[in-house]
Structure 1
């Protein structure tokens, strides 16, 4: 395939992404499921070129920015509070799933060596950050569940990669050392944290000195790949390095980024992450064709592998439920014994957490790195696709319905201040600054309008806090009127520009001011 053909194929894939995303919105389906099914069907259309994703390229191109974005938007305080639960899922459950899948696979396919069975378990054991983000965008979960699912998907890839590497080595050499696995994992994990902290600290130093918005965003984007590649070059976990650097960036961006950088960054990242996530699911679907063709067609796959594939998928899903309910039962027992830190999730939250184990691009990329001489390689590749399909399409599309049926309750203690109370505190601080500077040297009131606005803001927020039920409808009508006035101003601005009354620069500047004001109103009303 020539460079021009590759470019045309990329444009065609982007067009497919737009169409499938629109279809998902129309049918009210998770976009990830529509992208996966649509691309898988499209891959078998006669005449389309064969496309095989390079697994190393998939990992280094897509994974770092997606991990960085997930870590950047993660609440560091909540991540730290839920760290024991996150590590239980990211390490304990991945190991348990690897063992469970290995045992089931060897039971169903006795001719496959144990090490190869465990290699398959390592491939399908870690839930994927991309799949989790894609599904979580369409549902509302309690804060603890969200932190557990997001945190798990950020960390568990390192566990799966270590287990996979040692399982493959054992399958090819016949030698396995459990102590070496544990020591290597500790080295990769801790080393990745140190490299990520160093990369994050370097970003803080550089970003503080940046005065250009575009350069600041570019340096921040490059941090994802730089931290990942630095970790890999130093033979530690690039995944953990990227996640650590992203947590550092997310913590310091509030004091480093200007408002303009944040506004531009939100828009830029939303488009970038959407395209990258969509391309990952498209590549998964397209890669299926080469595997099925090599196996002799879909009929041959179904006739020879149906039972093992069903067993692997069930083992993956059930192992997650067993681990989650078993560990939550342990928390319940410890809580009854008086241990304050052991807070069980409860049946409702545990059920949702168990059903939210979607696999995706990382599972595919790991499977595609299997050596050609690996025993059972074709079975592993098809099983990886089967697990991705079952978890994304079946679990992803039904997760919202399960949440609506189970109705998991948010048992996390609320923060001391509500949104309205925080807004009141900010309004009081702003009023204090304006009061100190509203009068001239001779005592005359210079900024009367600003003082009146600040006093009215404090009074309005205080009234809203103390009388929310009656104030909220008036607030909605107030913001609706302001929005209509902004829309009218924007229409007049465009009319003046179309009539040649103002320059392009005037249009852009005033339109930006109106956009910022309207975004501020939306944030105030919707929180």
Structure 2
């Protein structure tokens, strides 16, 4: 039994890797390809039916995915864009859940308003992974990406809180607005406080104890689970606990990690997040046929009509929300209008069209219990699951595949000042080194060639950065040729290392150490 389950897991991981490889080859966002491939694979005769325990999604998958998103989010950008992020993460989630609730109550026979809010809470949060994978190879304004990333951090918490209250209303048959409002704020505030408290403990361990890169990496993998499970144990928001703790530790990471810890943590987390996301997206497609089989007394055609109508509504509601939320604050506040400048409708439309659903919606839908407290079957559970799966598929395929075309049509102006800022950083760092050498190593520089060469190296770096800032060497042809020259030199050194290895001239561990240095150097060169 254990061997069978292990084989299924390994097969999923292998399939995910191969499909991601194919997505890069055909230039299609990998969540889209994974969902569609999972759906196709599920119809192959002999493929085992995979049923995922809802707790696995919430406990195993959600904390690291949220933690990774928080870790890669700039706190400064998040705080600077707090107004549009809050309007999307809280205002849009509640607006979507409410609109879907009344629409589902009107459209679907025997669907109570509480069930409608449950469905609205499930499908209201967009998935940042899908949007990020689409934007990866496209030129998109940094502000759009920052807003979408910030929204995805917080909207998961607000949608799950709506989901929790709707579930409570269905289970107990009672709902008090003022009590729910008070509970909402307590769940949010206490979730944040628990996350920050645990983050401070983890920070102290990293900062003051003699950890190693392996221990540092292990603690970063354990921390999101500690935050999530502790908050959920006390019935507060585990999502916000992970997000707040992750933002704090990310902000202080330069104080607590050595260079080798940072390298190892980055590599481990890149692999872990890729596999977790991949498995969840392919599971979406794999489970759809099983959900269809358990729909119940509704016909498949009726369910498809319900699902497509609600999918379209979720897209339209987002577009309806983003334009007033972008323009009205500027109309009513001169300070906002002056600070943020004139607004173009094109970026607003891109944000509105980037509402693909994904992991959190799947987790919420699967978390709906099978039965109520009295033992009766949970009403319309399979129908809600079916609608959720179709909304995920519909938004991923329609919006995900059309986003590159829309971005080309809108012809957004991307102000790329990253290269200028990079050169400023290089110039500042090189100048600081030169000043340090002059103040502390003046005699050695005069008398010893090795010290003199170090200073000359940084003087050349400062000179090159200065020329590029002045535009003297900033032409695309120069940059391309210069980078290619550096890569060619790395290849020459690597080929020489290969000869040494083949001829067994030096110890393997010394050659591997030099090879690692070349890999890091090539990575830096290709990023620049």
TM-score (norm 1): 0.93
Q: Which segments of 5 or more consecutive residues in structure 1 lack a partner in the other structure?
A: none
Alpha-carbon distance change, 27 to 514 in structure 1, aligned in 2, over 3 angstroms? closer
Mark the CA change 1:500 to 1:273 in structure 2 (over 3 Å): closer, same or farther: same
Aligned equivalents of 1:259, 1:371: Cα separation in 2: 46
Look up the SS of the partner of 1:418 in the other structure: helix
Question: What secondary structure, in the 3-state scheme, does the structure 2 residue paired with 1:59 have?
Answer: helix
Q: Which residue of 2 aligns with 1:457?
A: 461
8 Å contact from structure 1 (residues 334, 342) kept in 2: no
Q: Is the 8 A contact 1:102 1:114 kept in 2?
A: yes
Output the CA distance in 1 between the equivalents of 2:484 and 2:194: 49
1:478 deviates by 3.2
Q: Which structure 1 residue ranges, 4+ long, deviate > 6 Å from structure 2?
A: 414-417
Within a 5 Å distance, the mapping from 1:332-351 to structure 2 comes to 332-335=330-333, 340=338, 345-351=343-349
Q: Give the equivalent residue in structure 1 for 2:430.
A: 427
Q: Which runs of 5 or more structure 2 residues have no equivalent in the other structure?
A: 371-376
Q: Distance in 2 between matches of 1:422 and 1:337?
A: 31
What corresponds to 1:436 in structure 2? 439
Hey, what's the Cα distance between the residues in 1 that align with 2:342 and 2:436? 46
Q: Does 1:189 align with 2:192?
A: no
Query: 2:250 maps to which residue?
Result: 250
Deviations 1:336-365 (A, max 9, x none): 698545667531011101111111121112
* Distance change >3 Å, CA 337–CA 230, structure 1 → 2: closer
Is residue 402 of structure 2 the alignment partner of residue 403 of structure 1? no
Alignment partner of 2:442: what SS?
coil
Which residue, 472, 492, 507 being the options, matches 1:503? Answer: 507
Taking a change above 3 Å as real, the CA distance of residues 496 and 89 of structure 1, as seen in their structure-2 partners, is same
Which SS does the other structure have where 2:443 is aligned?
A: coil
Q: 1:296 to 1:45 in 2, by over 3 A?
A: farther
Whether contact under 8 Å (1:335, 1:343) holds in the other structure is no
Bigger drift between 106-115 and 276-285 goes to: 106-115
Corresponding residue for residue 230 of structure 2: 230
Question: 1:461-509 CA distances to partner (integer Å, 9 max, x unpaired)?
Answer: 1122113455664444333222212211111111111111111111111
2-structure distance, mates of 1:203, 1:345: 42
Partner of 2:197: 198
Distance of aligned partners of 1:394 and 1:267 in 2 relative to their CA distance in 1, 3 Å threshold:
same
Aligned-CA RMSD value: 2.4
Segment drifting more, 318-327 vs 335-344: 335-344
Which segment is superposed worse, 147-156 or 11-20? Answer: 11-20
* Aligned position for 2:176: 177
Counterpart of 1:418 in structure 2 is: 421
CA contact (8 A) 1:199 1:245 kept: yes
1:378 matched residue in structure 2: 382
Query: For residues 130 and 251 of structure 2, what CA distance do their matches in structure 1 show?
Result: 24
Change (3 A) 1:417 1:186: farther
Q: 1:161-200 deviations in whole A, cap 9, x for unaligned?
A: 1111221222343322111221111111111111111122
Partner Cα distance (2:365, 2:433) in 1: 56
Distance 1:339 1:416, change over 3 A: farther
Asked if 1:273 corresponds to 2:273, the answer is yes
Alpha-carbon separation, structure 1, partners of 2:146 and 2:36: 28
CA 1:509/1:291 → structure 2, altered by over 3 Å: closer, same or farther?
A: same
Determine if contact 1:335/1:344 at 8 Å carries over to the other structure. Answer: no
Alignment partner, residue 395 of structure 2: 391
The alpha-carbon distance between structure 1 residues 5 and 329, as it changes in their structure 2 partners (threshold 3 A), is same
